[in-house]
Amino acid sequence: MQWGSVAEFFAMGGYGLYVWTSFGATALCMGGEVLAVWRRSAAAERRDES
Amino acid sequence: MSATGINWFKYSSPQAFHPLAGRMIPWFAAAAVGLIGVGLYVGFFVAPTDVTQGDAYRIIFVHVPAAWMSMFLYVIMAVWAGIGLGLNARPSFMMAQAIAPTGAMFTFLALFTGSMWGKPTWGAWWVWDARLTSELILLFQYIGIILLRSSIDDLRRADRASAVLALVGVINVPIIYFSVRWWNTLHQGASVSITAAPTMAGTMVTAMLVMMLGFWMYSIAVTLARMRCVIVERERQPSWGKNASIQEVVEAR
Amino acid sequence: MSQPSMSEALRGVVRRDLLLAMRHRSDVAMSVFFVVIVASLFPLGVGPEPAILRMIASGVLWVTALLACLLSLGRLFTADYLDGVLEQTLLIPQPLAVLVVGKVFSHWVISGLPVVLLSPLLGLQFGLGGDSLVVLTLSLLLGTPTLSMIGAIGAALTLGLRGSGLLVALLVLPLFIPVLIFGAGAVSNSLAGVGSEANLSLLGACFLLSLAFAPWATAVALRIALE
């Protein structure tokens, strides 16, 4: 383990803002896409049943 | 066909592909979660801090896989488009249709994370070097394909027109890459090595490759799921589970 | 009666389109005035300092020509499409790609050539000198037909669609970029005293490549749009 403390981990050597924004955006985009496809699937199945 | 006992062509019908895809998705999803998890672990807890770029370099663990996927997915989409045009096969067009949004998403992510990486490392949110510029044009091309499809009401025309556009675009991206690179070498001072990755330790490379694989598994899972939606939306058949009224048969296409 | 040859069909298409254009001479004027006005916007926006204008001249003039081509693409197939002539054209036994070359050529004569002929004057407005003016004209002479041919693909893909004006721009602008880079690069190189031969050669290559492939792609797109 190379991080002295949790605070160090989040600080990322001063670049925390950039690193976590990047990973955050990635998580948001990928999670959002999964959600969108799930909702599209539910809507399609619903319409198919009607 | 009879040698293996499996008739693969059976799955080229949307009706058969739908349940097959449904069975495959959980495996790819699990693989994605596993690989991304491992990749993140190695990337944050095993890979050391970089000498020149500090911890900011860790952005490449999402930036490079996203960029790679954006290009890879475009080529795959173009291949399906070409097959669709060549064989006049509806499922191939549907596959291309399912891939486009994921490709566009990764292109956007590549640009966004690229900016995030560029600012602390080289002081600029954006540079007009060959790779970033090509990625930007790639995003425009993805959006163009998606918009063209949604602007055409007739499904057959929409399929074929966006397929032609995808194929034309495949040729364009390498041309843009080389023309911008050439343009940059003439305008010295712009870039040269500005987006070169740091010389990477073994663990860094491992983390990046594992993440890339994870993104790939994710893309397959999401594309298959979207393909199932597309199939249901487009191919509503009366025989799809129950009896239909005349109205439904008329509406099906 | 014997079938007309390919060259006869080509000449027929060109003759018809040019004749129609002669009856609507405003079309020619529109391209010209657009380029003049837009090119004048930049000094008004950026300031009249000659050094700056000379620096931005190649890019501005090339982008202006590019936009003029883009805006004129709507006129390439639409009129024929709306009055049913295009469908008939698809039934002609001669290869559709050849007929497309004819249409694009006439279209270029009407919208692109005037821009090329006007470019030295516009270059002067931006303070470009003798050599650069020649390079500018030459680059546009090679580039504008290329842009027309590439643009025809977009025009064919979006034929008859609502909102096609903006859509065709989005589809076609990424494809225009290499031509823009080489064209504007030729002029800025000549301004910098560096040779423009490389850029002009690349422009020539783009022209030949687009001549070889774009009409065929346009023909495919037309059939898709009209079937």
ipTM of the complex model:
0.90
Q: Report yes or no on A17 lying in a domain.
A: yes
CA distance B99 to chain C (A): 18
Residue C105 CB-density burial (10 A; 0-12 exposed, 13-18 middle, 19+ buried): buried
Residue B50 has phi, psi (to 5 degrees) of: -80, 145
Q: Report yes or no on A23 lying in a domain.
A: yes
Q: Which of B112, B216, B228, B229 best tests the A interface by mutation, with the highest count of A CBs <10 A?
A: B229
The C-alpha atoms of residue C77 and residue C91 are separated, in whole angstroms, by 16
Greater model confidence, A32 or B5: A32
Q: Report yes or no on C1 lying in a domain.
A: no
pLDDT for B189 = 44
- Residues in A closer than 8 angstroms to B54, CB to CB, are 12-15
| DSSP structural state of residue C83 | T
Q: Report yes or no on C21 lying in a domain.
A: yes
B222 contact A CB<8A: yes
Q: Report yes or no on B80 lying in a domain.
A: yes
A8 contact B CB<8A: no
pLDDT band at A6 (very low <50, low <70, confident <90, very high): confident
pLDDT for B246 = 58
Q: Which of B94, B99, B107 is nearest to B77 (CA)?
A: B99
Q: Are B162 and B148 in contact (CB under 8 A)?
A: yes
pLDDT for C195 = 86
Q: Report, as ranges of residue numbers, the positions in chain B whose pLDDT lies below 50.
A: 1-2, 189-194, 238-239, 241-243
Which residues 157-216 of C are in CB contact (within 8 Å) with B? 157-158, 161-164, 167, 170-171, 173-175, 177-178, 181-182, 185, 189, 194, 202
Q: Report yes or no on A1 lying in a domain.
A: no
pLDDT for C93 = 86
Residue B175 has phi, psi (to 5 degrees) of: -65, -45
**Whole-structure pTM value:** 0.89
- B144 and C170 within 8 Å at the Cβ level: the answer is yes
CA distance B86 to chain C (A): 12
pLDDT for B191 = 39
Q: Are B146 and B104 in contact (CB under 8 A)?
A: yes
Q: Are C185 and C137 in contact (CB under 8 A)?
A: no
pLDDT for C27 = 75
List CB contacts of A39: < 8 A, sequence separation 6 or more: none
First to last CA, chain C: 29
Q: Are B119 and B125 in contact (CB under 8 A)?
A: yes
- B63 and A22 within 8 Å at the Cβ level: the answer is yes
Q: Report yes or no on B241 lying in a domain.
A: no
- B164 and C182 within 8 Å at the Cβ level: the answer is no
From the list C158, C181, C194, the residue facing B183 with the nearest CB is C181
List CB contacts of B62: < 8 A, sequence separation 6 or more: A22, A23, A26, B109, B113, B211
CA distance C66 to chain B (A): 17
Q: Report yes or no on C203 lying in a domain.
A: yes
Q: Which of A35, A15, C9, C98 is nearest to B50 (CA)?
A: A15
Query: Given phi > 0 = left and psi -120 to 50 = alpha, else beta, which region is B171?
Result: alpha
**Chains touching C (3+ CB pairs < 8 Å):** B
- C185 and B160 within 8 Å at the Cβ level: the answer is no
- Residues in C closer than 8 angstroms to B148, CB to CB, are 157-158, 167, 171
pLDDT for B5 = 53
What's the per-residue H, E or C state across B99-140?
HHHHHHHHHHHHHHHHHHHHHHHHCCCCCCCHHHHHHHHHHH
Q: Are B35 and B184 in contact (CB under 8 A)?
A: no
Q: Report yes or no on C149 lying in a domain.
A: yes
Q: How many domains does chain C have?
A: 1
Q: Which of C91, C89, C221 is nearest to C158 (CA)?
A: C221
Helices (DSSP H) in C92-196: which residue ranges?
96-111, 113-125, 130-157, 164-192
Residue by residue, pLDDT tens for chain C (227 residues) are 567 788 888 888 899 888 888 887 787 788 889 999 999 999 999 988 999 999 999 999 999 999 999 999 988 999 889 888 899 888 888 899 999 999 999 999 988 999 999 999 999 999 998 899 999 999 999 999 999 999 999 999 999 898 888 999 999 999 999 999 999 999 999 988 888 899 999 999 999 999 999 999 999 999 999 98
Residue span of the structural domain in which B68 resides: 36-46+54-235
Q: How many domains does chain B have?
A: 1
* B155-186 vs B60-87: helix crossing angle, rounded to 10: 130
From the list B58, B59, B102, the residue facing A33 with the nearest CB is B102
- Residues in B closer than 8 angstroms to A23, CB to CB, are 59, 62
Residue span of the structural domain in which A16 resides: 6-49
A10 contact B CB<8A: no
Task: Return the biggest CA–CA distance within chain C.
Answer: 66
C with B: touching (≥3 Cβ pairs within 8 Å): yes
A with C: touching (≥3 Cβ pairs within 8 Å): no
Q: How many domains does chain A have?
A: 1
Tokens 């064919």 belong to residue: C156
Distance (Å) of CA B213 to CA B17, B34, B220? 24, 10, 11
pLDDT for B250 = 64
Task: Return the biggest CA–CA distance within chain B.
Answer: 71
